[in-house]
A and B are shown apart, each in its own frame.
Chain A
Amino acid sequence: MKKDAFHHALKIDTDLCIGCANCMRVCPTEALRVQGGKARLEANHCIDCGECFRHCPVNAIIIEQDDFSQTRNYKYRVAIIPAVFTGQFPEDITTEEIHSSLMHLGFTHIYEAESAVDLVFKKQQQTLNSGKVATPAISAFCPAIVRLIQVKFPSLVPHILPVKPPLDVSAAYYLRKLKDQGVYDKDVGIFYVTPCAAKIAAVKSPVGEEASCINGVINMDFLYNKVYTLIRQKKDDFCAIPDRQQLSSMDILWSLTNGEKEHVANRSLAIDGINNVTAFLERVENDEIANIDFLELRSCDESCAGGVLTGGNRFLTAERLRKRAAKAPINNVKDILRYQKDLMKQISTNPVEPRSMLILDNDVSSAIRKMKQIQSTMERLPRVDCTVCGAPSCHALAKDVVQGKASIRQCIFIQKRLEQKDMMDKNESLDILRDIWGKPKLDKNR
């Protein structure tokens, strides 16, 4: 591995984990295993897409957020909220009410992340037209996709459009604006309200940029509950929102599927859902896809409306945002444009580095040898991908075996064969299963 210390927002609460392996079966990068009756995360393989979180039946996958009380450490408390936040509330609750409740909760400034879309779009266009990025260019909007490309499609790294997503630009703008008002840097706390785990990881260990100017991240589901409770309690109590800014329809729709694609003049495609994206990237990597200039790729179905931390139904959220967009101005002049010149300079990211998780060995001949071993191990395995061995597929087990991380005796089919030949007794095979699935699962029916 080229780098190791990656911040992951996804953690496993081993007290809650029941070792059901649902997470392991859905992980698109095979980053999970079951050991000792608990799920275990392989940090270098995880892209923080949150599929495991979505499928965990006992909420044992946690998305680490910053403590809300941390906001109190700052005199100026800025909430950067994405448009999908307001999109989750029932339609009778207005944007003003939502923002006003956020003020009640202690924020001093509310700013919608997509306010910076104009600038991001402009930079995307400039970069696309510069011809410096391999085509099809891939938007860097979704951090889970950027990480997916790094670990699974390293050859496509030069296709990533090195332009930051709107939230980073919005945060930079707000910090700058407050500083211009004479506020000290240390007094400003910028908090991003995130719809997903990937954005947290991106803020905590950014890819292709220096430290982010965001001080903390608050999970959207947490804040949604707080705001909703507040609105339900005191319906009529509004407070004034300083510097209220109107989003344009383009801004509001940006984080939904087609939000970016819609504005690209050349041939472009929008694909959502991590498995759809993976299948398409396979084809891009084979050079099978010709004459497409731009790809908008989003890890979640319905893009950010389907973020793992959004409480509402993704289709209803998208519908509400479309309705809001229909009423919004098509184009409006925003305060952020005052800083256009300076912000445009900060909007590009450094080139993204590949960090393939696929490489078996740095030395080619050792890697070939290991691949041969995987191939011969595969011939002994049943290819049913039952996951009883604690790995997500026969192939994953074969790979683990060759890399010394697992034993082929973990395969229950192999165990049966060995038992038949008197090469393994029943107690040994039970012990192996106990090591994988934990004591309680095997002993409870005795």
Chain B
Amino acid sequence: MKTQYDIEGGNFSKAGFASSEVKRMLKQLNLDIKLIKRVVVAMYEGEVNIVVHAYHGTAEVDVSEKRIRILFTDRGPGIKDIDQAMQAGFSTATEKIREMGFGAGMGLPNIKAHADELNISSTPGKGTQVEIICYIKKDHQNT
């Protein structure tokens, strides 16, 4: 099952909207609540990344019985050094954004901690693609 969400760069008051919608969807599927939490936290971080850094982006969410896949695609500055961006605490966010409680440099590391798979590709000056996958294992189903 596929759904798609638009994410507007710079609109902090809407950050979290798409992940809330996805959460609402996952809550209907009798999945383990810990799995839902992992997906929602990872997705929220991805959403915030677009709001903080990019001009515009989309989140495509695909849910099957085996896995939940989220693909973020944005138009934005891109990431010059992905390894560096993956380090906890590394951030290119401005002071202003940090004051708002974002841009602590934990976004990508936090996604990595919550997702089963994380794939990033980026073209500096153009944009970034972030793919997040969480697997639904047998024991993730409640009985």
Contact = CB atoms under 8 A, between A and B. Distances in A.
A206 interface: no
Contacts of B64: 368
B28 A154 contact: no
A361 B44 CA distance: 26
A368 B63 contact: yes
A367 B28 contact: yes
B33 interface: yes
A364 B33 contact: no
A362 B30 contact: yes
Interface string B2-16: 010000000000001
Given A286-B23, A362-B142, A363-B30, A368 B1 contact: yes
Interface stretch (A40-48, A299-307, A335-343, A352-360): A352-360
Given A286-B44, A287-B37, A364 B29 contact: yes
B33 A360 contact: no
A365 B136 CA distance: 11
Interface in A129-181: 154-155
A358 B44 contact: no
A363 B65 CA distance: 9
B19 interface: yes
B98 interface: no
B1 A372 contact: yes
B108 interface: no
Interface residues of A, number: 23
Contacts of A371: 1, 25, 28-29, 63
B24 to A, nearest CB: 8
A371 B36 CA distance: 16
Contact of B33 (A155, A282, A283, A365): A155
Contacts of B143: 362
Contact of A286 (B20, B33, B136, B141): B20
Interface in A265-293: 282-283, 285-288
Given A282-B20, A286-B19, A368-B65, A360 B29 contact: yes
Given A285-B23, A286-B23, A287-B41, A367 B16 contact: no
A375 interface: yes
Contacts of A356: 27, 30
Interface string A98-109: 000000000000
Interface string B120-143: 000000000000000010000111
A361 B30 contact: yes
A361 B28 CA distance: 8
B40 interface: yes
A238 to B, nearest CB: 56
Interface in B84-143: 136, 141-143
Contacts of B36: 155
Given A356-B27, A360-B29, A283 B1 contact: no
A303 B143 CA distance: 37
Most buried by A among B3, B33, B136: B33
A367 B44 contact: no
Contacts of B65: 364-365, 368
Interface in A362-392: 362-365, 367-368, 371-372, 375
Given A286-B40, A371-B1, A371-B25, A359 B20 contact: no
Nearest to B43: A286
Nearest to A362: B30
Contacts of B142: 362
A362 B30 CA distance: 6
A185 B16 CA distance: 55
A287 B30 contact: no
A287 B40 contact: yes
7 smallest A-B Cβ distances: which pairs?
A: A155-B33, A365-B65, A367-B29, A359-B30, A372-B1, A358-B27, A360-B28
23 contacts: A154-B27, A155-B27, A155-B33, A282-B20, A283-B16, A285-B40, A287-B37, A287-B41, A288-B16, A288-B44, A358-B28, A359-B29, A362-B30, A364-B31, A364-B141, A367-B28, A367-B30, A368-B1, A368-B64, A371-B25, A371-B29, A375-B1, A375-B3
Interface of A: 154-155, 282-283, 285-288, 354, 356, 358-365, 367-368, 371-372, 375
